[in-house]
Amino acid sequence: MNKQLPQEYYTLLEELQAIDFVLVELTLYLDTHPQDLQAIEQFNQYAKLRKQCAKRFEVQFGPLLQFGHSYSRYPWDWKEAPWPWQV
């Protein structure tokens, strides 16, 4: 299935990827610097930002994750492609 996606789909997906990159890097840093309060606060700030961004994406374009990590609209929309990792 090859349907045309709006530019906002790609914009939000790119924003999510950038936030995920920051979270991975902060996780690696905190693994070796667990007492760095500023880094922990930054991690929590980006974790909150990610939840907000993911919610915006899912409301407009459907679920990002399976196995109960994302809600589904009616009718069941998980089968709708492309999935985020396919674009």
Q: Cβ–Cβ contacts within 10 Å for residue 20, how many?
A: 14
Domain enclosing residue 23, as ranges? 7-80
Q: What's the domain count of the chain?
A: 1
Q: Which of 75, 24, 67, 14 shows the shortest CA–CA distance to 47? A: 24
- Let me know: does 82 contact 4? Beta carbons within 8 Å: no
Residue 80 and residue 74: Cα distance in Å, rounded? Answer: 12
Task: Answer whether residue 54 is part of any domain.
Answer: yes
Residue 14 lies in a domain: yes
Residue 85 lies in a domain: no
* pLDDT, tens digit, 9 for 90 and up, residues 57-70: 989 988 887 766 66
**Whole-number Å distance between alpha carbons of 49 and 59:** 16
Segment 18-39, tens digit of pLDDT: 999 999 999 999 999 999 999 9
Any domain includes 86 = no
